[in-house]
Amino acid sequence: MSAPELAPALAHLVKGIVDHPEEVRVASRDSQRAEVLEVRVHPEDLGRVIGRGGRTAQSLRTVVGALAVGRRIRVDVIDTDDAHAAAPEAPVE
């Protein structure tokens, strides 16, 4: 299976472990080395998706790897708070 085909399955798994399933987004893109699935969740759910010591994220990667059958598919959990922090704030008057 390719990354776009695996995106709904990964989204289903992630929605089962978060408190805000309506905010789960899984996007696929190609990189030079592999296909990439980017997982974005509500900031309060980030810890749940990563898990203690990264165990949950690693488990998600293992499941996706098993479904990928010979394809290189990387799973990235994106911290959406970093995107907000990098954006410049509007000046306060």
Q: What pLDDT score was predicted for residue 85?
A: 47
Architecture of domain 3-82: 2-Layer Sandwich (3.30)
In the chain, where the domains are located: 3-82
Low-confidence stretches of the chain (pLDDT beneath 50): 85-91, 93
pLDDT digits (tens, 9 = 90+) for 7-29: 999 999 999 999 999 999 999 99
pLDDT of residue 4: 82
> What CA–CA distance (Å, rounded) separates 92 from 3?
43
Percent of the chain with pLDDT over 90: 68
